[in-house]
Amino acid sequence: MDKNKVLKIQEGGSHYKDMAIQPVEYIQANRIGYLSGNVIKYASRYQSKGGAEDIKKAIHYCQLILEMEYGITSTCEE
pLDDT per residue as tens digits for the range 22-55: 999 999 999 999 999 999 999 999 999 999 999 9
Query: In the chain, what are the helix, strand and coil shares in percent, each to the nearest 5?
Result: 55, 0, 45
Q: What is the pTM of this model?
A: 0.83
